[in-house]
Chains A and B, each alone.
Chain A
Amino acid sequence: MDYLVQQKKNLRKTYLLVFLFLFLMATLGLVIDALFGVFPFGTILLIFIALIQILAGVSSGPALVLRSVNARKINEKSFEEKQLKNIVEELTIAAGLEKAPEVYVMEDENINAFATGFKAKKSAVCVTSGLLKHLNREETEGVIAHEISHIKNKDTLLMTTISAILGTMVLVQLFAWRSLRFLLWSNRGRRSSKKKDSGLGYIIVALLILALVATLFSLIGRISIFAVSRTREYLADAKAVELTRNPKGLSGALRKIAKMQKSKGKVKGATIATAHLFISDPLKRSVNNKEGFFANLFGTHPPIHRRIALLENVPEEIVLKELQEG
């Protein structure tokens, strides 16, 4: 597999999505300003809200994620966990990061792992106890390389920034729908003054347009956050191979994950808000096993057989068949 070509392609897609987000935000700000004739206050307000959300996310995001899955720091007296710490430190060197991320373990039978944090220096890597139990050193190296790549690429930072922007759109949407409902409700049974009516009608139409536009944008935003996540998984796989120079480790780990996928339940504590952080979908939603337009829009992870096929450089049908048989 030529990972450099893969990386360039994925990077371009990612840039495109980020650009799309920025474009939508700017348009939304302008729509508000045009509707109410308050340029540039609408735009400034939107940016202000977005900044507050980003700051709030930066100050508590990673800790909240780790707490939500009940993660604990590793115990260096345990051989497996010390080995895990060693692997994280090795790949930190390979990626040229200044400081190794903190290492956490969460009690869960599934094989899974995720990385979180905004700055490379203050990030964390968390694996399930099932991963420690079932993966050998080579496979663990592959998984950790994938997670370190997320940190190196600043994926977690990007995901959270997009979430903050998305949050702003949802806020505007809520505001518009609520005030619309309030106006319509309070206006019922008052039909005396015609002059008042035409002014109110104008505001209602304006709010309706705003509500529709914001709803549309937040829907597009929601879809895009998952598409970003999907391409980023391929990207992190490619980068992981660049670090370890060994596609076998990661593909072996993914094969074990695929085999265990049906026998075990969801990862404890994982939600739709954190699912995109994991190396494989902790919620096991069936959309992530599919390809095509719909799956690309709503899936958080690429189909696992496709990731294995890319790593091993074999047709995906063969991998799919092997996984179904084995």
Chain B
Amino acid sequence: MVVVGIVVAIVLIVLFWFVGTYNSLVSKKKRVENAWSQIDVQLKRRHDLIPNLVNAVKGYMKYERETLEAVINARAKAISGGSIDDRIKAEGELSGALSRLLAVFERYPELKSNEQVKQLMEELTSTENRITYARQFYNDTVMKYNTSIEMFPTNLVAKTFNFKPFVFFEAAAAEKETPKVDLTF
């Protein structure tokens, strides 16, 4: 009787552990997916902002046609869709073009004193920060999830139910350019 009782208890404990671990993995995975959708929301915000911004500044920045056109073209490419890899690349180019625009903006005092442009630039700065933070949060969440599915004994549950690791969202090369570097052109 005692032996049967112990065996039943052990089986129950293992079962409960299995269910608990599975559930926590599912919620971690959900968190990663949510973090990804947050990046999407912020990218959309950036796409919506650009036409207003370009209209507001183009009168002032006659000599910066190239910079503005780069932004417009990069935006068009980014919203045209395609595979995830293509999109990440296009968004990276857009980030680079926008950071150059922000740098150029510093050189136009009359632009800075224009209230509407100032507000749009603040929105652009904010949007760029949001995208950076959303990506940072996504990567943190992915790291936690990936670590937990690789750790023993959670990896047993992860393997049984086929939990796959997520890929980190690395910043594209163009995005890593800082505005300071761009000030020299």
Which of A21-29, A87-95, A127-135 forms part of the interface with chain B?
A87-95
Partner of A86, one of B42, B115, B122, B141: B122
- A90 and B119: CB pair below 8 A? no
Tell me how many residues of A have a C-beta within 8 Å of chain B: 15
- A94 and B136: CB pair below 8 A? yes
In the complex, A83 Cα to B126 Cα: how many Å?
8
- A96 and B122: CB pair below 8 A? no
Main secondary structure of the interface of B (DSSP, over half): helix
Within A125-183, which residues are at the interface with B (CB < 8 Å)?
137
- B130 and A90: CB pair below 8 A? yes
- A245 and B136: CB pair below 8 A? yes
Smallest beta-carbon distance B37→chain A, Å: 12
- A94 and B122: CB pair below 8 A? no
Known: A79-B118, A79-B119, A82-B119. A89 touches B126 (CB 8 A): yes
- A93 and B137: CB pair below 8 A? yes
B110-144 vs A: 1/0 string, CB under 8 Å?
00000100110011011001100110110011000
Is residue B154 contacting chain A, with contact meaning CB distance below 8 A? no
Which of A87, A94, A243 has the most C-beta atoms of chain B within 10 angstroms of its own C-beta?
Answer: A94
**Which A residues touch B130, using CB under 8 A?**
89-90, 93
Is residue B35 contacting chain A, with contact meaning CB distance below 8 A? yes
In the complex, A87 Cα to B134 Cα: how many Å?
13
- B136 and A90: CB pair below 8 A? no
Smallest beta-carbon distance A135→chain B, Å: 15
In the complex, A89 Cα to B115 Cα: how many Å?
22
Closest to B136 in A: A94
Which of B133, B134, B137 has the most C-beta atoms of chain A within 10 angstroms of its own C-beta?
Answer: B133
**Which A residues touch B125, using CB under 8 A?**
137
Can you sample 19 A-B contacts with CB below 8 Å?
A79-B115, A79-B119, A82-B119, A83-B122, A89-B126, A89-B130, A90-B126, A90-B130, A93-B38, A93-B130, A93-B133, A93-B134, A93-B137, A94-B133, A94-B136, A95-B137, A96-B31, A137-B125, A243-B133
Closest to A77 in B: B119
- B35 and A96: CB pair below 8 A? yes
In the complex, A243 Cα to B42 Cα: how many Å?
17
